[in-house]
Structures are given as structure tokens and as C-alpha cells.
Structure 1
Amino acid sequence: MHAFLTSVNPELVEGPDTLHIHPENSISIEDVRKIQVFLSRKPVQTKVNSVVIHTADKLTLPAQHALLKTLEEPPGNAQIYLVTSHPDLLLPTVLSRCATIERNDPPEAHQSEGGRILIEKLLSSEVEGRLAILDSQSFTREQALEFLDQFEYYIHDQVQSGTYHLPPTTYHLLVESRKYLKSNCSVKLTLDHLALSLSS
């Protein structure tokens, strides 16, 4: 992560003028208040105060709403970075106030061989087979979210290599499934819905 942040702004890695938010479970309104207080102070070593919100998709809805005003009118020359692999979990009003900086990590760094084999087996099966395959995995919620990540890497790899053949709705289906899991919906029902809706 430091290498990526350094490539954006070398002063973001360390220093008294940078506040890093590392959430354990979620980012609350209280965390947003800390950000607002930090940004109201004068910078010590640089010309701007910077805030880096790691895993920004863990911002609660109230926290996102509280952050909106700061994103609209950041004090001074403040810079706020929202780091996330799942921008779909942020409010559209939050996203509309941010400039996107894409990370171009090679998919090979993320796509596991086991994940690729499972996804290809899933895509080559009929509905009954897809249901049986996912049911046999006995995924926990975290494992199911990791599986969705693997599926996204698989799609990215295909797009990069020019071999993408899945319907355009596939990515939306993965985003939808992730939202269900993040909302504490049943893991089995969410994956059953995925299996029923997929088409190769």
C-alpha cells in the first residue's frame, strides 16, 4: 500500500500532516469528526493536510453522509484519499466528489489457481451443477467474499487478455452478491442466487 500511496504523493506515507484511518470493523461518525478536527489545524511540515481513509468501503452510511460536507468543501488545501477495492459500496454522492485513481496491479498477483479452476468449473456447468458446486464449498461469509474477489480478478484477467466472453451483467451480479453478503444476508441464499443468475 505504501508504494501505491507514494506514487500518488510521497508525503502521504509518513509525517505529522498526514492522518491515516485504519478501520478494524467500521468507520464511524466519530472517526469522521476526528478527520474534520485534523483538517482544521495548520500543516506543520508541508503546505497541506492529508487524510488517507484505508478500506473506505467500511464507512457506515451515517459516516458517509457526515463526510460529504468535508468532501464538498475541504478546508484549506486539504487532500482526502479514499482507498478501496469496492467503490460500489460507497454512496454515489461520495463517489461523485472524488477523482478516481486506478491501481493497475497485475491480476496474476491476486488470482489463485484454485479460484480460477473453481470459477471455470462453475461457468461450464448447468444450473443444477452450479448450485451443487457452490453448496459443496460450505463457504463462510468471509470465504464467500473472497470468492467474489477471485471472480472479479478472473473477469479482469479475461478482459486484459481479450478473451472475455461473459454477459455484461456478470460484473453487476457480483457487485449485487457482495452487497447482499455485506448486509448479512444468508450466505447460502446469496450464492444460490448467484448460481441461478449466472450464464456462460
Structure 2
Amino acid sequence: MKYIRDEEFIRGKAPMTKEEIRILSISKLNLEKDFKVLDVGAGTGSVSVQMSKVCYEGHITAIEKDIEAIDLIEKNKEKFNAHNISIVEGEALEVENNINEKFDAVFIGGSGGDIESIIKRYGEKLKLQKNMVLNFITIDNVYRAMHTLKNLEYDVDLIQVSVNRGKGKSCMLVANNPIFILTAVKKY
């Protein structure tokens, strides 16, 4: 499995899940080649595209509300020949009723501020004993998500990842934002 580097993606102003976080998050989904996966808040499509390469016999549904980001997803989909990705345009909670299938994994990279409702409604579309993985920058969102998931009786695991990159002749370390990766297994 080849992991795609950040610099390979076509980028714009839309947020992109960075390479190391993308790889860890995807590994936490426990994907198989034929999985149907949902990506909520797909941004540039970096996670969707990488998942499409892991689930090459499956299908990825990417939800994104921002028009510029959707254009980037389309461009990255074409660049990486990721034709097993479908893009759903709109706010996650507004388009949820149009998505009538069960998924083997759910990735939530963006919530637009209503993480509790997104977890509840998209969690209903997750198959039993399968994983939901969520990425956060803020402690407040992590707390709200963990509280919601525990109330829904998911098994929850949390890690925080901090990546620093060497820069310049002396290799001064420059930090990326620390990211929380929350993994939740649907028990019931």
C-alpha cells in the first residue's frame, strides 16, 4: 500500500488532514479492501482518496459543504484515479437523510460545530462492531464527542498526536497543530 504524501495532493484554501494524521486515522478505521466508508467533512479529499486506495473494491462517500473544497476533491479524485469516490455536496446534517446505506467505517474530519448530532445520526449508519474515527484540534470538541460516544455506549480510545518537522540548515523543529484522534467502536 502506497501512502500519498501531502505534496502530491492538489491543494487550495480548504483544510487538509496532514500526512501522518491521515495515515494514523485511516489505520484506526481497520479498513478492508471491499469496505464502504463515509468521510464527513472531506475538505480537499486527502482522506477519501487515500481510503479509496485501501478500499479499492469498496466505495467511499465524501460529504463536503464548501464549493471550493468540492472542486479540490474532484481534482484529486481524477489525479489519483480514485473513481470509487462519490461526493455528496451539502451540510452533513442536511444531506444525511439522502444517504440510505450502512457503512463499514465512518471518518469525521469536520463537523461544522454540531458534533453531537453528526455522531448520533451518522452513527446509525455505521455497522455493528465497526469503527468511527474522528479528528479534532480543540479540547472542547474532543470532550463533546467523547461524552456523546460514551452515552451511546461506544468503546472509545483517544490519542493526541504532535508532529514537528525539521526546517532550515540547523533543522529547527516547527510544530504542526497537535491533533486528537478519537476511535469509537459501535457495540450496539
TM range (shorter): 0.3 to 0.5
TM-score normalised to the size of structure 1?
Answer: 0.36
Structure holding more helix per residue: 1
Structure holding more strand per residue: 2
Q: Which has the higher contact order (CA 8 A, sep 6+)?
A: 2
